[in-house]
Chain A
Amino acid sequence: MITSNTHTWQRRERVLERKSGLSPGWWWVGLLVVMIVTGYPLLQLLLKILQFDGRLSLESLHVAFTGKKYLTSFLNTLYVGLLTTTFSLLIGVPLALVVGRIRIPGGKLLRVILMIPYLIPGFVFAFAWRELLGPVGYLNKFYMLISGASEPLFSIYGPVGVVLILVLRGYPIVFITVIRSLRNMNAGYEEAAEVFGAGSLQTMRTITLPLMLPSISGAAILVFSSSIANFGVPAILGSPEGFYVLTTQIYSTILSYGLDNNLNIAASLSLYLIAAGLLFLGLQSRIISRRSYVVVTGKGGRTDLAPPGPEGWVYTLVLSLMGFALVILPLVAIGLSSITRAYGLMPRFENFTLKHFTSLLTDTFTTTALRNSFFLAFLSATLCTIIGFLIAVVTERSKILGRKILDFVATTPRSIPGTIIALAFILAWIRPIPLLGISLYNTFWIILLAYLSRFLGYTVRTISATLKQISPSLEEACLISGGKNWQRIAHILTPLSVEGLAGGWLLVFIPSLNELTMSILLYSSGKETIGVAVFSLLQEGKIGRAAAFSIVIIVIVLLGDRLLHRVTKGKRSLLG
């Protein structure tokens, strides 16, 4: 009798304990919604892999793993990923060590310029480089003009171009990761080495770099997984040359309506990417958990940079050249294209016009795309913020069972390539929803749901980080003052996490606004987004208008980052 009594008590205690944490009754509704939005399509994707001709079979896998073009695209993906990672590290790590340790005249501005490629969507930047170094790009035209040659000097199309653009988007990731841990590193470690007589190069080799290793490898993994997941860059610079990677191969397989079982094969192909993604997710969390005791404690970062010597100016020169060649030139090229009357005309004053910009506002195709994207971005940012806040509250403040699952389901799609998410959404919603008879396919809402699934993780993470900063006693003070749980959320938690809410909102709004990868697979006529519109204009050869649209995107993205900088006091912005 006594034992049974103790059991009842223990159960009651557990129940009460959970209740005394924040235990909103709606948490399981949220879990269900997130499961359906995110979990169900991914489940469908996995199921489709095991089907062929509508039967249970391993044939799709067989085709995906033996078909020659599929294998080639897999090898191409590896090639692109490895090269991109290597070169990103070779540029990013030295850059961080130089900028983080030596005072460079004009260093702040140079840093901003060198980080710009990461902010601009890949397909826009690839387009910009095409205008510079495509067969009829300005640099090639200039070369042919002065040398009289009939062949261009260098073509950006093909694997080299793809890797180049991905490296330009990859090294900022390395730079930011390394410079952050460099700033956080206890300066004592380095100073100790110097006290014992190590020179500065020796210190860097024996102390600084080994201590940075966890963050460097973390950055490498991030670069690798984001470059193999990229769609826009290989779609613009690879596909025209017949150079396919997995994302573009999956895209064209989905669009191969003539091919039997094309969706099943595409699903099987995505297994390569999912496996790589999960592998790197695992590696990353391992490295992060190891890092916790390896090094980087917050205190005592070295803030004093070495005084500017003559070598400072050498660095200024090198970095300026780099910024000019890698960032400014392609932006100038796309800028010229956007104001040149007709494609192929020489950039002379009499050929300049603003008609491409004005046409953005008059042509229904582009105005529809603008309206759609702003509407979608606004909705997805707002919904992600609200849902993300509720999920973060549950995971950070309650003791409910299953909160870890909620967090996992909400944040995993962040690491899954957009192409795969879009495919999963096609597979899940191509047929009308049973019982309801509503079809999501070919509607606006399927795009919105895909955005939600893909970007929810950003808000969950940002808001969780904010909630971690809020002392629980502030909420306890509310409870003991008579506040109920909803008042605790409305009066205390919400106003105190405004920074994280606004930051999370922008972190979703900006990428949603210029999203291409998922939209290109999910859009239907009249539901085009900005990304889809630029891509279509490019395919149709309406270069001037595509360039003007791209300039608008670039301006929005840069303004967005400034705003993010303001809102989060520099914590989330990239341009620092």
Chain B
Amino acid sequence: MADVQFNKITKRFGDITAVSDFSLSIEEGEFITLLGPSGCGKTTTLRLLAGFYPPSSGSIKIGGEPASDLERNVFLPPGRRRLGMVFQDYALWPHMTVSDNVRYPLKIAGRPRTEQNAKVDEILAIVEMSGCEQRFPHELSGGQQQRIALARALISDPRVLLLDEPLSNLDASLRENMRVEIKNIHRRLGVSILLVTHDQAEAMSMSDRIVVMDHGCIHQIGTPEELYDSPVDEFVASFVGKANFFKVRQVGTMLYLCGDSRSDGAFADEEFLQPLESAHIQGSPVRGLGCAKPTDFQISRDAPTGAHGIIESSLFIGDSVVYYVRVGSIQFQVKTEDRSFEIGTDVSVSFKKVILF
């Protein structure tokens, strides 16, 4: 039984359609991420699940029970959906101590005081914040506030944990730590998680499955690997990892480059690139948009096959180098561990893999 089911959800605010025809089911214990640029409808989707507003059409089920369903006139308020939520600004109540913040859901539910205390101790131990019970939120660092927000969201054993860009207010190193922490908590408690983020690295490193959204629509749902290896369209490819786009034409087993993706003369100055074994190509339009990740290239000084290119500039990024290689009218970003190419060097460029849309 799926934990959460979105069934053809649409949400309009006035004339603006924030989410359109959104369907998704979250399995029990699954970690799902809604990924997309700001304004893509991911936060609206999360808030629809939380019950902060009703959908314009469609229905949401939580644990098999309808939670939002206009047709049946069902709308559970947020507090009755058994959800936990971590807000972008953490939303810790500044007038309450850590302990009072964390215990609040239990207090509302009318649990006995002793049970509350035991639960607070237990959950603070999980988020490694034992001993901070009597501090106030403003006395804590950003990362600590984050942990308290997590503790409050988890204390009443929610069916689903909602995370609304929880890491965006933390600095880079702390963010990496928290990613691991959240993964650990997920593994340990087995709670389903719905994360909303615009940070693709965050999405890739944490999720079981990712939903890529733009303009209120789903572009692709898949595991991080699927999204990375086989994006279904240009948007997903550009959003999940960096990619080079260019126009191509395929004739038989030969691939011709036809200028960069912005050239509108379209397929004019064709340049021979290389014959390709079909295994390297995904998709099969005869002419269309080609996409290759920076790591999908092979450059060398002397290989006989491949197109002729010139190294125009290079960025050393530690474990590897990103070269800007010009081939005809196109500039490719190529990432390799080989640091030996100088600017101005003539190289031979070939693909290890190309995706055609």
Give Cα A417 to B349, complex, Å: 83
- Enumerate 22 A-B pairs (CB-CB under 8 Å) in ascending A order: A9-B56, A9-B57, A9-B71, A13-B54, A13-B70, A17-B53, A20-B53, A471-B89, A476-B50, A476-B78, A476-B85, A476-B91, A477-B91, A477-B152, A480-B50, A480-B79, A480-B81, A480-B83, A481-B79, A482-B105, A483-B104, A496-B93
Quick check: is A4 within 8 A (CB to CB) of the other chain?
A: no
* B contact residues around A480 at 8 Å (CB): 50-51, 78-79, 81, 83-85
- Are A492 and B93 in contact (CB-based, < 8 A)? yes
- Are B83 and A473 in contact (CB-based, < 8 A)? no
- Are A473 and B89 in contact (CB-based, < 8 A)? yes
* B contact residues around A160 at 8 Å (CB): none
- Binary flags per residue of A475-490, CB closer than 8 Å to B gives 1, else 0: 0111111111001000
Quick check: is A474 within 8 A (CB to CB) of the other chain?
A: yes
Give Cα A492 to B83, complex, Å: 19
* B contact residues around A496 at 8 Å (CB): 93-95
* A contact residues around B228 at 8 Å (CB): none
Quick check: is B109 within 8 A (CB to CB) of the other chain?
A: yes
Known A12-B70, A474-B93: A479·B78 in contact at CB below 8 Å:
yes
- Are B91 and A471 in contact (CB-based, < 8 A)? yes
Quick check: is A437 within 8 A (CB to CB) of the other chain?
A: no
Quick check: is A10 within 8 A (CB to CB) of the other chain?
A: yes
Quick check: is A16 within 8 A (CB to CB) of the other chain?
A: yes
Quick check: is B73 within 8 A (CB to CB) of the other chain?
A: yes
Size of the A side of the interface (Cβ < 8 Å), in residues, is 25
Quick check: is B272 within 8 A (CB to CB) of the other chain?
A: no
Quick check: is A307 within 8 A (CB to CB) of the other chain?
A: no
- Are A479 and B77 in contact (CB-based, < 8 A)? yes
* A contact residues around B108 at 8 Å (CB): 481-483, 487
- Are B54 and A16 in contact (CB-based, < 8 A)? yes
Quick check: is B75 within 8 A (CB to CB) of the other chain?
A: yes
Known A476-B52, A482-B109, A495-B95: A12·B73 in contact at CB below 8 Å:
yes
Quick check: is B250 within 8 A (CB to CB) of the other chain?
A: no
* A contact residues around B52 at 8 Å (CB): 20, 476, 479
- CB-contact partner of A481 in B51, B53, B152, under 8 A: B152
- Binary flags per residue of A14-28, CB closer than 8 Å to B gives 1, else 0: 001101100000000
* B contact residues around A477 at 8 Å (CB): 85, 87, 91-93, 152
B38 to chain A, nearest CB (A): 17
* B contact residues around A491 at 8 Å (CB): 93, 104
Return the 7 tightest CB-CB contacts between A and B, nearest first. A482-B79, A16-B54, A473-B91, A481-B105, A477-B91, A482-B108, A473-B87
* B contact residues around A17 at 8 Å (CB): 53-54
Which of under 10, 10 to 19, 20 to 34, or 35 or more describes the interface residues of B?
A: 20 to 34
Give Cα A480 to B95, complex, Å: 18
Quick check: is B300 within 8 A (CB to CB) of the other chain?
A: no
B95 to chain A, nearest CB (A): 5
B81 to chain A, nearest CB (A): 8
B166 to chain A, nearest CB (A): 12
Quick check: is B80 within 8 A (CB to CB) of the other chain?
A: yes
**CB nearest neighbor in B for A9:** B70
Q: Looking at B81, B93, B152, which has the most chain A CB atoms within 10 Å of its CB?
A: B93
Q: Looking at A12, A19, A20, A481, which has the most chain B CB atoms within 10 Å of its CB?
A: A481
List chain A positions with a Cβ less than 8 A from chain B.
9-10, 12-13, 16-17, 19-20, 471, 473-474, 476-484, 487, 491-492, 495-496
* B contact residues around A10 at 8 Å (CB): 56
Quick check: is B156 within 8 A (CB to CB) of the other chain?
A: yes
**CB nearest neighbor in A for B50:** A480
- Contacts A20-B75, A476-B87 known; 16 new A-B pairs at CB < 8 A: A9-B56, A13-B55, A13-B56, A13-B70, A471-B89, A473-B88, A474-B93, A476-B91, A477-B87, A479-B52, A479-B77, A480-B79, A482-B80, A482-B108, A482-B156, A492-B93
* B contact residues around A482 at 8 Å (CB): 79-80, 105, 108-109, 156
- Binary flags per residue of B47-83, CB closer than 8 Å to A gives 1, else 0: 0001111111100000000000011010101111101
Q: Looking at B57, B79, B84, which has the most chain A CB atoms within 10 Å of its CB?
A: B79
B285 to chain A, nearest CB (A): 38
- Are A484 and B79 in contact (CB-based, < 8 A)? yes
- Binary flags per residue of B84-125, CB closer than 8 Å to A gives 1, else 0: 110111011111000000001100110000000000000000
Give Cα A473 to B47, complex, Å: 11
Give Cα A285 to B52, complex, Å: 33
- Are A20 and B77 in contact (CB-based, < 8 A)? yes
**CB nearest neighbor in B for A17:** B53
A467 to chain B, nearest CB (A): 15
A492 to chain B, nearest CB (A): 6
* A contact residues around B73 at 8 Å (CB): 12
Give Cα A20 to B78, complex, Å: 9
* B contact residues around A9 at 8 Å (CB): 56-57, 70-71
A47 to chain B, nearest CB (A): 40
Give Cα A142 to B126, complex, Å: 83
**CB nearest neighbor in A for B149:** A477
Q: Looking at A10, A474, A492, which has the most chain B CB atoms within 10 Å of its CB?
A: A474
- Are A20 and B54 in contact (CB-based, < 8 A)? yes
B8 to chain A, nearest CB (A): 13
- CB-contact partner of A16 in B75, B85, B93, B105, under 8 A: B75
